[in-house]
């Protein structure tokens, strides 16, 4: 199941709507569930979550970092960037301090949206 919070829909997906669509995000989430995503270390200690990086779009034009709730296999996007993005796309690795800072900001917003029930769930 894919969970898209209001924050991610407004701040990550909307600016990329010319390049990506919701089907690309579904396909990326399915890759993660099938074990095709690259597992990354978490930006901070959170139990019950696993973090993955996966490529999106045709021609591998974008990358997405998600977390998966271990107990129910829900995939929740945290950050989605084009590969040609100068800040994150070129170096979307967990040793990039700028990326870690942005992931933590987005993660706080995503968790707040989940607590406030501001999200939509999609079955694959």
Q: Is the dihedral of CA 58, 42, 32, 124 positive or negative?
A: negative
Which residues lie closer than 8 Å to 42 by C-beta, 6 or more apart?
49, 50, 51, 67
Cβ-contact 20, 13 below 8 angstroms: yes
Query: How many residues are listed for the chain in this entry?
Result: 124
Going by the DSSP 8-state scheme, the letter that residue 63 receives in this structure is E
Q: What is the per-residue pLDDT for 99?
A: 87
Q: When comparing pLDDT for 53 and 60, which is higher?
A: 53
pLDDT band at 3 (very low <50, low <70, confident <90, very high): very high
Sorting pLDDT into bands at 50, 70 and 90, what band is 88?
Answer: low
- pLDDT of 85 > 80? The answer is no
């Amino acid at each position: 199941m894919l969970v898209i919070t209001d924050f991610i829909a407004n701040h990550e997906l909307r600016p990329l709507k010319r390049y990506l669509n919701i089907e690309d995000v579904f396909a990326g989430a399915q890759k993660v569930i099938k074990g095709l995503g690259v597992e990354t270390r978490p930006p901070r200690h959170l139990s019950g979550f696993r973090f993955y990086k996966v490529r999106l779009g045709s021609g591998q034009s974008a990358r997405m970092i998600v977390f998966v709730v271990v107990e129910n296999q829900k995939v929740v996007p945290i950050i989605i960037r084009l590969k040609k993005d100068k800040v994150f796309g070129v170096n979307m690795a967990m040793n990039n301090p700028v990326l870690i800072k942005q992931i933590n900001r987005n993660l706080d917003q995503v968790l707040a949206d989940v607590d406030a029930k501001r999200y939509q769930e999609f079955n694959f």
